[in-house]
Amino acid sequence: MKIAVSRDDGLAVARATAPVRRRRLSLTTQRMLEGYFFVSPWIVGFLVFLAWPLFQSFFLSFHELQATSLTDLKWKGIDNYKEAFFIDARFVPKLLATLKNNLLDVPVIMIFSLFSAILANQKIKGVIGFRAVFFLPLVIGSAQVIKQLFAQGVGGATLSQGVDVQELVYQYIGPDAAAGVSDLLNRLLFVLWKTGVQMLIFLAGLNSVSPVLYEAARVDGATDWDRFWKVTLPLLSPVILVNLVYTIVDSFTDTFNEVLEYIQQTAFAGGFRLGYAASLGWVYFAVVFVILFVVVRITNQYVFYAGDRNG
């Protein structure tokens, strides 16, 4: 505390003045600024490299633009969007097929990657090789290779020379059952190929759970199944939400996606209809955005954040 001396009508008056304190930022504000600092490179990159192309694509979706004459814009309003739903006989079926496939694939990928991460997190012999089996497709970048092989018809090749596996399956169990078995095997292969990133994220989440919690639950008599449901799963719920959002986005932007392939063909093959292709892209984006919004709003109610007093 400081003593200030002043004169009033010739008399010295002593006044106590409190020291000037600098206003400090609250902990919430500091964390918010730290978050903005870490995401600032992405924000700058988005504004520089993505914001303008997105605006241009949205602008083109209301016009007709031919690739042979990039300066000749013709205003069409919402005619492109009407054509996508009411005139184009291929877009809506492809969109529905994509929704159906992802509705089946996403839950399987999530469940399989979670239990694979739990197995990979065990301290057993050979677990390093088990992890490598799932991470290898991410390292070698096999998406384009597999796509080219299927495009060349290699997907229908036999497992070994001189043995037509598909014909043998048809012969012994019939075409209907064989089609189901073939679809199941293809989906299992797709799931194995797609679970690398999700498994890695789940592994990070499992390693962040304190062993003290498991020890306390074990002392209280909880079984392994109880510890999974009452300790592991609640603490992994934020990671599950992140993985779910990532899996949905990754599935809807997959290399084998029929909708994206059709949009690419519409824009750069055949009629070179850039405006109509842009409108298809925005319709597809709107569908994915609505799905993500609904999923996040529903699942966020069941997410437990450690240290959250309101949780």
Structure tokens given for 194: 């797609």
Write out the chain's pLDDT in tens, 311 residues: 555 555 555 444 555 555 556 677 788 888 899 999 999 999 999 988 889 889 989 998 998 876 566 667 888 889 999 999 999 889 999 999 999 989 988 998 999 889 888 888 887 777 777 777 767 766 666 556 666 655 655 544 444 444 455 566 666 666 666 666 667 777 777 777 778 888 889 988 988 888 888 888 888 888 888 888 888 888 899 999 999 999 999 989 887 788 999 998 888 876 678 889 999 999 999 999 999 999 999 998 888 876 555 54
pLDDT attached to residue 166: 59
Domain boundaries, the chain: 26-60, 63-151+195-302
List, for residues 108-164, the tens digit of each pLDDT value: 899 988 988 888 888 777 777 777 776 776 666 655 666 665 565 554 444 444 445
Q: Can you name the residues that pair with 11 across neighbouring β-strands? A: 8
d(CA 55, CA 43) in angstroms, rounded, equals 16
Per-residue pLDDT, 295: 94
Q: Which CATH number fits domain 63-151+195-302: 1.10.8.60, 3.40.50.300, 1.10.3720.10, 1.10.340.30?
A: 1.10.3720.10
